[in-house]
Amino acid sequence: DNALLSPLVYYGLEDGSITGFYKAAETSIGYYREPGNSGYAADDPLMEKHLKSCIDGSGSQVDCLLSPGNQYIQCIEDCKLKLCPDEDSQADCQSTDEECLMKQKWCPQYTIATLTEEEDQSEKRGYIPLTNYCHDMNGRFTQEEGMAVKVYTPSTYDLSRVVDPDGQSTVHQLSTCYHSDGTTPVNRTLSGEYAFCGGKDCDNTFAGGYSSYEYDPRYRPWYIQTKDLQKPIWMDPFIFFGSDGKGIVMGITVTQPIYDAVDGKNVFAGVLAVDYRFEDIANFLIDSYKDTTTSVAIFEDKEPYHIIALSTGTPSTLAVLSADPTQPCPESGDAECQPVRLKMSDLADKQPSDVILSKAMQKHKDQNFPAELITVRESKSVGSDFYLSQSVAYEQKGAANLRWRVIINSPNEISNSDSIEVGNPLFGVIFAVGLMGFA
């Protein structure tokens, strides 16, 4: 049931739809966006079902209207298919070269437009919202009284592991689904011919939907880069959408393009994405080493060696005031804050186990990260404890842009091997990190 082995999986498609689940603190949120393009004329009667599907914090209906600066998809020649921009697709294939032709992919053509002040004043444009939903213990969207998952054990996300055949769970607390104001129960019955129910007229598309906002996966970085490269990608660490700068949700996303076969062509259909939150990786390390004297650090294998996760409990990211990054973000108030990622060198003034990790990292670096064990003293004092430390690089094969390094420190009396074998504490770390990739 470890969180590291239960990443968040979702997908966005070229029709603009997206669905998945998201962990926030100790609660779980489902989300869904209907297919279609935003930027439609607000007075278009065919789009009224989307225009009227937004709500405010108390659940009252509001029009889904774009604001100046918002983006939207604008088709080129009705989103006509064209060879994708990646190297394989742009190859000059001969008509008889089947191998070359099979590597080519076709992409719908569109641009990402931005609504200007002048355009907004001349014509109001609407958007198709992404809706956040309450869900029950089986992951179904619900607004049934007392059936929405309110609190769950953070390290347990795979519902099938914890819900017994009778529908009972020992790790979930159930409640009624409320709108964002926290007091108004959700009771939505908006009807229309929605894709959610196969294009038929229905009134349950937004049942359990407690908030809505403007979002389209096609102009998010994880989607755009995957479409451009047409291969799996490990994104650089970033703040996940919806983070507010105080409750920082820093993580990393790996993506995989997905395709449809259309008239013998490989047509790009969308992106499958998997999110790993740094705090989940840290929780894995903390749980694994809480009863030991071993400490572990995972960090980026490039300058300035930003931290991914630590077994010591020290966070890898801090929230600071945007106006004065030297000051921590206050827990209350409306101050604007921003995240700052810690480097391995920043551990030099933290708790003792962090200091040892920082010293070990510097010594490994000075020796060009040798494969052999090195020794690290707690201090220069005579008789001070010393540790054996090993460093291993981890690079995800078959996917771009991921290279991390793992350092493990163990007191000398429990470290008697100069290699990583089954049973060695570091073996477990490498094995778990390896599970993060696609098979």
β-bridge partners, 60: none
Q: Measured between alpha carbons, how far is 135 from 23 in angstroms, rounded to an integer?
A: 12
Distance CA 393, CA 396 (A): 10
**For position 431, what pLDDT does the model report?**
46
Supply the pLDDT for residue 154: 45
Residues 6+ apart with CB under 8 A from 182: none
What pLDDT shows up at residue 291? 85
Tokens of 244: 């507010």
| Secondary structure in 3-state letters for 212-269 | EEECCHHHCHHHHHHHHHCCCEECCCEECCCCCCCCCCEEEEEEEEEEEEECCEEEEE
Q: With H, G, I as helix, E, B as strand and everything else as coil, classify residue 88.
A: coil
Q: Which residue has 């020290």 as its token pair?
A: 314
Give the closest residue to 257 by CA, choosing from 267, 248, 265.
267
Residue whose entry in the numeric block shows the structure tokens 């707690």: 378
Query: For 269-320, how does the pLDDT look when each residue is reduced to its tens digit (9 = 90+)?
Result: 999 998 888 888 888 899 888 888 899 999 999 999 999 999 999 999 888 8
Backbone angles phi, psi at 162, to 5 degrees: -120, -5
Rounding to the nearest 10 degrees, give the CA dihedral for residues 312, 298, 257, 194: 10
For the record, the structure tokens of 192 come out as 């229309």
Beta bridge partners of residue 18, listed in sequence order = 12, 33
Give the C-alpha separation, 36 to 341, whole Å: 37
Q: Quick one: DSSP state of residue 205? A: T
Q: What is the pLDDT of residue 151?
A: 63
- Report in angstroms the alpha-carbon separations of 226 from 218, 222, 253, 270, 397: 10, 6, 11, 9, 17
Q: What is the pTM of this model?
A: 0.79
**Amino acid residing at 29:** I
Instruction: Please report how the helices 278-289 and 425-434 are oriented relative to each other, as an axis angle in degrees rounded to 10.
Output: 150
Show the tokens assigned to 240. Answer: 């996940």
The pLDDT value recorded for residue 244 is: 44
Amino acid 433: pLDDT: 53
Hey, what amino acid is at 182?
G
Distance CA 138, CA 152 (A): 13
Q: Which of 11, 66, 61, 63 is nearest to 37 (CA)?
A: 66
Buried/exposed 376-411: b ≥16 CB within 10 Å, e otherwise: bebeeeeeeeebbbbbbebebeebeebebbbbbbbb
List of residues 6+ apart from 112 with CB closer than 8 A: 71, 72, 73, 74, 218, 219
The per-residue DSSP string of 268-314 comes to EEEEEEEEEEHHHHHHHHHHHHTTSS-EEEEEESSTT-BEEEETTS-
In this predicted model, what pLDDT tens digit does every residue of 223-257 receive, in sequence order? 999 999 999 998 888 776 554 444 567 888 889 99
Contacts of 336 (CB under 8 A, 6+ apart): 245, 321, 322, 323
Give, for 323, the enclosing helix (H) or strand (E). none
Q: What stretches in the chain show pLDDT beneath 50?
A: 1-5, 153-157, 243-246, 382, 415-423, 427, 431, 435, 437-439
Chain centroid to CA 423: how far? 31
Output the six-digit token pair for 37: 């393009």
Nearest to 415 by CA among 381, 395, 385: 385
What 3 state SS string does 351-374 have?
Answer: CHHHHHHHHHHHHHHHCCCCCCCE
Q: Which H or E element spans position 199? A: none
* Residue 4 confidence (pLDDT): 44
